[in-house]
Chains A and B, each alone.
Chain A
Amino acid sequence: MNLATSFWTWFGAFLTFCIFSFLYKDNPFYKFAEHLFVGVSVGYSISISYHNVLYPDLIVPLFRNGELLNLVPLIFGLCYFTRFLPKVSWLVRLPMGLVLGFGAGAAIPAVIQASIIKQVQGAILTPDVFKRFDLTVWALISLIGVICTVTYFFFSRERGKVTKVMADLGIIFLMVGFGASFGYTVMARISLLIGRFQFLLRDWLGVIK
């Protein structure tokens, strides 16, 4: 055993236990750690935003280099403050409109390219998959699965006999997919817990390397 000597490691361990104490029930220790975390994260976000964005991207170019075009994003950005001034609070919609329009416009071609064209290319049967029997079967199952899953999500018309069978098959694929995701989710949550125990046993208590 090689107990930590640093104050900060002890404080980290204390906060870890404060949060874990919620497993028993909500209590002041948990609340303290939670509120401290919120405060620190706000301060951290403001600091990084200032050092990584505001200072190098706005203050230096505008006030030191005199690049006046930067006044435009500054004015739009300042409109966010009007959110807290009831008389002119509508001005907050200006930067929101600009950013939303930009995001939506950028998303359309990107999504068509990455999630539709490429995925259709991946789903269709190319000569390569016919080179080996097992690959052919798996590719066929995948293709059927994709079509049936999409059919399941098609709610615009009442299902006929064929589309009902396809949608039912789609559910089977979806359930296997969700099962796979659940299996992986278990893995994720356990990993996070192991990580905390590694901190307590290694950094704080020093019983493992």
Chain B
Amino acid sequence: MRVFEALAKIDRKIIFLILAVVIIVPLIKPIGLISKASTRAKAVFDAVESIPPGKPLMISIDFDPGSMPELYPMLLAILRHAFARDVKVIVLGLWLTGMGLGEQALTTVASEYSKKYGVDYVFLGWRSGVLPVVLGMGEDIKKTFPTDYYGTPLESLAMMSNIRNYRDIPFFISLSAGDPGMNTWIAYAQARYGLKMGAGTTAVSAADAYPYLQTGQLTGLLGGMKGAAEYEFLVKERGYSKEISQATQAMDSQSLAHLLILILIVLGNIGYLFIRKQTKKLGGAR
């Protein structure tokens, strides 16, 4: 009986330690669980795959380092996919504190594929106000972003010469950690201007995206780090990249940590049920 009581009272520092071990060990000694692509992730991949070479894919960085492990690997994988297929890339963001991540990702991936700034990709950066940015781009991207992130006038960038507004963007992906993000783009760009879009979201908001998937407002969805791993799987399977995939590498730890949490919930409940039974018994005896 003491076992059940002990189960209900494990010290939280022990839980912290076990969780850390469960995550660190599989990173050092991988088990090799494979993360195959779901239909939702495949839909995003196929939409990028269907962009003709030379046409642009637009990506919005609607997250900051707080959600980096989930969304940054998506950004890298999507950029690799686009660059490998010679699809032009426009990157912007609704989160000011995500701009450094855009700079970091573009610098890393563009050099892997020897892509040239202004010809193969453009980093628009950030503009204030959210709604006037999303609505303004539907009218004219160059009026909303007269210059790019570095202060270069958009008029002077070769890639932007044939791009005016959303009508010239075959596909768009919002990498979203909340608000402003996926919901903003759906309400103000997809509904009003018919922008075809997919989303990569943090796992926290992935379940909220399902109504939009069913109506077709979202073409596809990458949900959390698992979604990133699925995209990495597809990019590797097609031979578009040989780089180490951060999200895929994390899936063993992710799986074991989930198992641990489930075990903890079960243990907590066993302890709880036992104590409740005991209390009832004692109450009855009185």
Contacts and interface: CB of A to CB of B under 8 A. Distances in A.
Do A and B contact each other directly (Cβ–Cβ < 8 Å)? yes
Interface of A: 23-24, 41, 44-45, 48-49, 51-53, 55-57, 60-61, 99, 102-103, 106-107, 109-111, 113-115, 118-119, 121-122, 142, 177, 180-181, 184-188, 190-198, 201, 207-209
A57 B126 CA distance: 12
Nearest to A112: B191
B215 interface: yes
Contacts, number: 147
B207 A198 contact: no
Q: Of residues A44, A121, A122, which shows the largest number of chain B Cβ atoms within 10 Å of its Cβ?
A: A122
A173 B129 CA distance: 36
Nearest to A194: B250
Contact of B244 (A23, A122, A191, A209): A209
Contacts of A41: 97
A107 B203 CA distance: 26
Instruction: Please tell me the size bucket of the interface on B.
Output: 35 or more
28 contacts: A45-B97, A48-B126, A49-B128, A51-B151, A52-B99, A52-B125, A52-B127, A52-B149, A53-B126, A103-B131, A106-B188, A107-B187, A110-B191, A114-B186, A114-B190, A114-B191, A118-B217, A121-B215, A188-B70, A190-B23, A190-B253, A191-B70, A191-B224, A191-B250, A192-B70, A194-B23, A195-B246, A197-B24
A132 to B, nearest CB: 15
**Closest 10 pairs between A and B when the two form their complex, measured CB to CB:** A195-B69, A122-B215, A188-B203, A191-B225, A114-B191, A187-B203, A56-B147, A113-B191, A114-B187, A184-B203
Nearest to A54: B128
A190 B208 contact: no
Given A114-B186, A122-B215, A198-B69, A56 B27 contact: no
Interface string B222-235: 01111000000000
Given A41-B97, A190-B254, A191-B254, A201 B135 contact: no
A111 B187 contact: yes
A115 B215 CA distance: 10
Contacts of A201: 24, 27-28
Contact of A48 (B23, B66, B67, B96): B96
A188 B224 contact: yes
Contact of A53 (B68, B127, B188, B191): B127
Nearest to B153: A56
Interface in B240-276: 244, 246, 249-250, 253-254, 257-258, 261
Nearest to A199: B69
Give the interface SS of chain B, mostly helix, strand, loop or mixed. Answer: helix
Given A52-B149, A56-B146, A186-B258, A180 B191 contact: no
B13 to A, nearest CB: 8
A207 B28 contact: yes
A184 B206 contact: yes
A198 B69 CA distance: 9
B35 to A, nearest CB: 12
Given A23-B16, A113-B192, A201-B24, A190 B258 contact: yes
A61 B99 CA distance: 24
B258 A192 contact: no
Contact of B131 (A51, A106, A194): A106
A23 B188 CA distance: 41
Interface in B126-178: 126-129, 131-132, 135, 146-147, 149, 151
A56 B191 contact: no
Contacts of A188: 67, 70, 202-204, 224-225
B32 interface: no
Nearest to A184: B203
Contacts of B284: none
Q: Of residues A60, A102, A115, which shows the largest number of chain B Cβ atoms within 10 Å of its Cβ?
A: A115
B211 interface: yes
Nearest to A146: B211
